[in-house]
């Protein structure tokens, strides 16, 4: 698991450096932003089979692509523990609740279009609509004495496709706070410019 996380972070780091270097001469105020958020996942998307909302940690790095348009490679993380009632009288496995832990790391890219100029808002505010595309890497572990189907809860689609609407308030030139409402994970957090 650590190997996948390290490789994914390295990939996003290299991608962001290459694309940021291409946009170094841009006069846009968007991009070159590290967003750190804490959110809540809903019932849709890659949370479909859990049956309740979960706390999610989210990180992305946003860079300029064109006027009012940015891309942000992202990674999120959530984990939960649940139980499953199972048994097999034919093989001497008693019926009882068995526990499992699922850890999911969604990764992908978020594309945002900023409407500040169109809306003629104060420079302290940014408003955007966005879409994100990616996939979820999941890991699960079960109680040691569980011998049933360990893929029972793997029915969620690993492909992510979410829409977002968000706003950021700039506290100063280096720091902002944002709210991102999404069909997958809605987050609130800090934007470091």
Could you give the count of Cα atoms lying within 13 Å of 189 in the half-sphere of its Cβ?
A: 20
Please name the residues in contact with 180: beta carbons below 8 A apart, sequence gap of 6 or more: 37, 39, 130, 164, 165, 166, 186, 187, 188
Q: CA of 26: how far to CAs of 17, 32, 59, 61, 70, in Å?
A: 15, 11, 24, 17, 12
Which structural domain range is residue 46 located in? 2-192
**Quick one: pLDDT at residue 68?**
93
Residue 174 DSSP class: S
pLDDT, block means (10 residues), the chain with 193 residues: 50 45 44 91 53 85 94 92 84 87 90 94 94 88 80 69 95 96 91 95
Provide the CATH number for the domain around residue 81.
2.40.160.20
- Of 188, 185, 163, nearest to 46 by C-alpha is 185
Could you give the count of Cα atoms lying within 13 Å of 148 in the half-sphere of its Cβ?
A: 21
């Amino acid at each position: 698991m650590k190997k996948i996380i390290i490789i994914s972070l390295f990939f996003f780091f290299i991608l962001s450096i290459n694309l940021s270097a291409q946009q170094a001469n841009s006069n846009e105020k968007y991009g070159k932003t590290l967003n750190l958020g804490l959110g809540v996942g809903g019932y849709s998307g890659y949370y479909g089979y859990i049956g309740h909302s979960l706390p999610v940690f989210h990180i992305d790095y946003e860079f300029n692509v064109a006027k009012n348009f940015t891309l942000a490679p992202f990674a999120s993380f959530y984990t939960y523990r649940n139980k499953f009632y199972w048994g097999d009288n034919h093989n001497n496995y008693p019926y009882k609740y068995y526990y499992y832990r699922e850890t999911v790391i969604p990764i992908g890219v978020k594309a945002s279009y900023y409407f500040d100029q169109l809306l003629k808002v104060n420079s302290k505010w940014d408003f955007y609509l966005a879409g994100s595309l990616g996939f979820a890497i999941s890991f699960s572990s079960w109680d040691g004495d569980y011998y049933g189907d360990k893929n029972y809860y793997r029915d969620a689609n690993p492909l992510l496709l979410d829409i977002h609407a968000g706003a950021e308030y700039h506290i100063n030139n280096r720091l902002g706070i944002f709210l991102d409402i999404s069909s997958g994970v809605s987050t609130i957090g800090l934007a470091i410019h």
